[in-house]
Amino acid sequence: MTTAQSEALFHRAQQSIPGGVNSPVRAFRAVGGTPRFIARGEGSHIFDVDGNEYIDYVCSWGPLLLGHRPKPVIDAIASVLDLGTSFGAPTSREVELAELIIDAVPSIEMVRLVNSGTEACMSALRLARGVTGRELTVKFEGCYHGHVDSLLVKAGSGIATLSLPDTAGVPRCFSETTLALPFNDLDRVETAFHEHGDRIAAVIVEPVAGNMGCIPPQPGFLQGLRRISNHYGALLIFDEVMTGFRLSRGGAQALYGVAPDITTLGKIIGGGLPIAAYGGRADLMKRLAPAGPVYQAGTLSGNPVAVTAGIAMLRYLEQHPEVYETLDKISAEIVAGLPADVRVNRAGSMFTIFFQPGPLADYAAARRSDTARFGRFFHELLNRGVYFPPSQFEAAFVSTEHRPDDVVFTRKAIREALAAASA
């Protein structure tokens, strides 16, 4: 497999773009080697600039539930290109997408469209603070909600202490508005609320974590967050940027039967174009400008071309509810029967193969994985034409376009790569 073109492009890119990429995980730093520069995608496959073909399990980090270039989305985009690309004024299609989201996610009565998951999470937190008049946030270690200043934190040393910055550039006064707790640990949530309850505006959580690898909630965890938030008058925010419309049309909240106050969405709702959203109870959302005092804005929010892609995506899912059973079967087949020295965590069409025997229910446990062996595994797979996420702490995604021959090919490659990585 030659990677000469990717290597040359990566060298060139590093002269003009920090790290040569527009998002750090793409640089392969966690696994080493040269990131593949992708020329095109088709169905479940991507093709790099050297002509190498891969079965794609990154799927643009989640948006491509229907694979690359799904006909309904591509046709919809093509049909609007001669109408204009952006107006900075309301359009009927934004209303249509809002109504599709509200129809699919029962806890959402009103929704605001934005351009990224980061923006959705940042804005949801500001709304929660504005509505409650409180300043603190509870988040969970290993959960990622975009590069929101106050959420790029690591847990403080004490059992309920305020957090420390986890990146350069975030002032202590920002990180100290956040409590970072272990995922799946309700006792720690109770303690934090016992200490700070009247100052906590919101709890924000990935209802099924995907950003420390895939880690589902343990029984009762989400229900406990709902109970505790209610008791102390804090808002519960489900960050469903990854799980929304992936785990079901109603997201993880529909599967687990827990209704948050605010939900953030992204990825799939844009059909591969930059659309995200946050929504919730109407009484909360009406506190947003221009209806209310909490300001949030965006030049390209509800962009008509991106919204058109999102409408096509959500309409397809509305008309084909069977896709979720199909997706579940595909991902189950791919990871069935792996050896006991690796641990598979799976939730529907997202999964992670952890390089440890497990079980694992939080970030501290996930970090005990053998990341060096994961790196070798990743490259053994890549050299066999299977493109997994380039980090142990990410989730792999399947699409409706991952066909039976992709599954057979991938299962064989995984077994060979596991053996080679163990040598």
Catalytic positions are 144, 239, 267
Rounded distance between C-alpha atoms, residue 73 and residue 309, angstroms? 5
Buried b (16+ CB within 10 A) or exposed e, 39-69: eebebbbbbbbbebebbbbbbbbbbbbbbbe
The yes or no reply on residue 210 touching ligand KE4 (CB under 6 A) is: yes
Beta bridge mates, 178: 137
Q: In the bound complex, what is the minimum distance in angstroms from residue 195's beta carbon to ligand KE4? A: 27
Long-range pairs for 46-54: beta carbons < 8 A, 24 or more residues apart: 46/387, 48/3, 48/5, 48/6, 49/5, 49/6, 49/9, 50/1, 50/2, 50/3, 50/4, 50/5, 50/6, 52/1, 52/2, 52/3, 52/385, 53/385, 54/382, 54/385, 54/386, 54/387
The yes or no reply on residue 145 touching ligand KE4 (CB under 6 A) is: yes
Rounded distance between C-alpha atoms, residue 188 and residue 263, angstroms? 23
Place of tokens 């997408």: 97
Q: In the bound complex, what is the minimum distance in angstroms from residue 205's beta carbon to ligand KE4? A: 10
Closer of 163 and 211 to ligand KE4 (Cβ): 211
233 CB neighbour count, 10 Å cutoff: 12
Q: Is 203 helix (H, G, I), strand (E, B) or coil?
A: strand
Rounded distance between C-alpha atoms, residue 347 and residue 149, angstroms? 29
The yes or no reply on residue 92 touching ligand KE4 (CB under 6 A) is: no
Sign of the CA dihedral 165, 170, 172, 178? negative
Rounded distance between C-alpha atoms, residue 399 and residue 65, angstroms? 5
Q: Which stretch binds ligand KE4 (CB under 6 A): 43-51, 132-140, 237-245, 310-318?
A: 237-245
The yes or no reply on residue 239 touching ligand KE4 (CB under 6 A) is: yes
Q: In the bound complex, what is the minimum distance in angstroms from residue 25's beta carbon to ligand KE4? A: 5
Q: In the bound complex, what is the minimum distance in angstroms from residue 182's beta carbon to ligand KE4? A: 18
Q: Is 139 helix (H, G, I), strand (E, B) or coil?
A: strand
Q: Which stretch binds ligand KE4 (CB under 6 A): 130-138, 144-152, 225-233, 347-355?
A: 144-152
Q: Which stretch binds ligand KE4 (CB under 6 A): 149-157, 218-226, 234-242, 348-356?
A: 234-242
Rounded distance between C-alpha atoms, residue 302 and residue 325, angstroms? 30
**Minimal CB distance to ligand KE4: which residue?**
117
Window 21-60: contact mask with ligand KE4 (x via CB under 6 A): --x-x-----------------------------------
Closer of 116 and 296 to ligand KE4 (Cβ): 116
Window 292-331: contact mask with ligand KE4 (x via CB under 6 A): ----------------------------------------
Window 249-268: contact mask with ligand KE4 (x via CB under 6 A): -----------------x--
Q: In the bound complex, what is the minimum distance in angstroms from residue 116's beta carbon to ligand KE4? A: 4
Closer of 241 and 407 to ligand KE4 (Cβ): 241
Q: In the bound complex, what is the minimum distance in angstroms from residue 419's beta carbon to ligand KE4? A: 28
Closer of 153 and 418 to ligand KE4 (Cβ): 153
Q: In the bound complex, what is the minimum distance in angstroms from residue 241's beta carbon to ligand KE4? A: 4
| Distances, alpha carbon 311 to alpha carbons 188, 268, 321, 402, 414, in Å | 40, 10, 15, 23, 36
* Residue type, position 349, single letter: S
Choosing from 142, 146, 182, 216, the residue that interacts with ligand KE4 (CB under 6 A) is: 146
Choosing from 241, 284, 288, 366, the residue that interacts with ligand KE4 (CB under 6 A) is: 241
N residues, the chain: 423
**How many residues lie near ligand KE4 (CB under 6 A)?**
19
Q: Is 58 helix (H, G, I), strand (E, B) or coil?
A: coil
Place of tokens 């895939």: 214
Closer of 56 and 193 to ligand KE4 (Cβ): 56
Q: Among residue numbers 103 through 122, which ones bind ligand KE4 (CB under 6 A)?
A: 116-118, 121
303 contacts: CB under 8 Å, gap ≥ 6: 85, 86, 115, 273, 274, 275
Alpha carbon 134 to chain centroid distance? 27
Q: Which stretch binds ligand KE4 (CB under 6 A): 238-246, 308-316, 348-356, 361-369?
A: 238-246
Give the interface with ligand KE4 as residue ranges (CB under 6 A): 23, 25, 61, 116-118, 121, 144-146, 206, 210-211, 239, 241-242, 266, 276, 394
